[in-house]
Amino acid sequence: MGGLFHHQRNPRRCYVICGIARSGSNLLSDALRDTGRAGRPNQFFLSSSIAQFRAAHGFAAEVSFADYVLGIVRKTATSNEVFGFKLMAWYLEDFLARLRQTGAFAGPDDSDLVMLERAFPRLQFIEITRREKLLQAISKARAFQTGVWKVEPGRMESEQPRFDRALIARCLDDAVEEERIWSEFFVRIEREPFRVTYEELCQNYSAVINEVVNFLQIKLPRRIRIGPPKTIRQSDAISDEWVRRYRAGESVA
**Is the separation of the CB atoms in 152 and 231 below 8 Å?**
yes
Is residue 145 included in any domain, yes or no? no
Is residue 57 included in any domain, yes or no? yes
The letter for the amino acid at 132 is E
Is residue 10 included in any domain, yes or no? yes
Q: What is the CATH number of the domain that holds 60?
A: 3.40.50.300
Mean pLDDT, residues 232-239 taken together: 73
For 1-15, 89-103, 219-233, which range has the lowest pLDDT when averaged over its residues? 1-15
Q: For residue 6, is pLDDT > 50?
A: no
Longest CA pairwise span in the chain (Å):
62
Is residue 85 included in any domain, yes or no? yes
The rounded distance, in Å, linking the Cα atoms of 174 and 21 is 9
Q: For residue 149, is pLDDT > 50?
A: yes
Is residue 100 included in any domain, yes or no? yes
Q: For residue 253, is pLDDT > 90?
A: no
Is residue 107 included in any domain, yes or no? yes
The rounded distance, in Å, linking the Cα atoms of 73 and 85 is 9
Q: For residue 7, is pLDDT > 60?
A: no
The rounded distance, in Å, linking the Cα atoms of 202 and 136 is 14
For 81-90, 186-195, 217-226, which range has the lowest pLDDT when averaged over its residues? 217-226
The rounded distance, in Å, linking the Cα atoms of 9 and 242 is 51
8 pLDDT band (50/70/90 cuts)?
very low
Q: For residue 3, is pLDDT > 50?
A: no
Is residue 93 included in any domain, yes or no? yes
Angle among Cα 34, 233, 86 to the nearest 5 degrees reads 45
Count of structural domains within the chain: 1
Residue 18, classed as helix, strand or coil, is: strand
Predicted confidence at residue 223, as pLDDT, reads: 83
**Is the separation of the CB atoms in 35 and 224 below 8 Å?**
yes
Domain containing residue 93: 3-133+190-233
Is residue 48 included in any domain, yes or no? yes
